[in-house]
């Protein structure tokens, strides 16, 4: 049993994906890019969960035999993807803090300009 029609779920996941992708390309601040990357990761996890749920609607643990169950492998892989996403976010935030300490800004264009000046 679902609250949203099948087609609307895919459109919402696509909209979330486009918001994350747009945030990566349009945001000038490094922290904003990390947030957009997390939104993009969430959309991809949602896509895979939707693909895995196309086989059925019931949870595998509540499977009775007369209905199709959701694929549990996709759920396990997406749980792993979420954990990896959290680790990548933590690493990126530490790197952004180090860049801020070295340059005094989180603006990506400004950081690139400062680092190019220091090289020459």
The residue range of the domain holding 48 is 6-119
Asked if residue 60 has pLDDT above 80, the reply is no
Q: For residue 86, how many other CB atoms are within 10 A of its CB?
A: 12
Token code pair at residue 23: 């945030």
pLDDT > 70 in the chain, percent: 92
In a domain, 1, yes or no: no
69 φ/ψ angles, rounded to the nearest 5 degrees: -100, 155
Q: State pLDDT tens for residues 13-50.
A: 999 999 999 999 999 999 999 999 999 999 999 999 88
Pick the closest to residue 38 from 14, 57, 9, 16 (CA basis).
16
Whether 27 contacts 33, CB under 8 Å: yes
Q: What is the mean pLDDT of residues 81-103?
A: 95
In a domain, 87, yes or no: yes
Number of domains in the chain: 1
**Would residue 54 count as lying in a domain?**
yes
Is residue 72, in this structure, part of any structural domain at all? yes
CATH code, domain with 115: 1.10.287.3510
Q: Could you tell me if residue 84 is inside a domain?
A: yes
Please report the pLDDT score of residue 40 as a whole number.
Answer: 95
What is the pLDDT at residue 1?
45
> Is residue 95 situated within a structural domain?
yes
Is 82 inside a domain boundary?
yes
């Amino acid at each position: 049993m679902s609250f949203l029609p099948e087609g609307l779920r895919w459109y919402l996941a696509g909209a979330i994906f486009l918001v994350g992708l747009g945030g990566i390309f349009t945001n000038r601040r490094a922290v904003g890019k990390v947030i957009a990357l997390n939104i993009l990761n969430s959309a991809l996890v949602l896509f895979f969960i939707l693909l895995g749920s196309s086989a059925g609607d019931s949870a595998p643990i509540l499977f009775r035999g007369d209905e199709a169950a959701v694929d549990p492998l996709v759920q396990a892989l997406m749980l792993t993807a979420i954990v990896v996403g959290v680790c990548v976010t933590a690493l990126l935030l530490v790197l952004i803090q180090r860049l801020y300490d070295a340059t005094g800004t989180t603006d990506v264009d400004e950081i690139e300009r400062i680092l190019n000046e220091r090289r020459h």
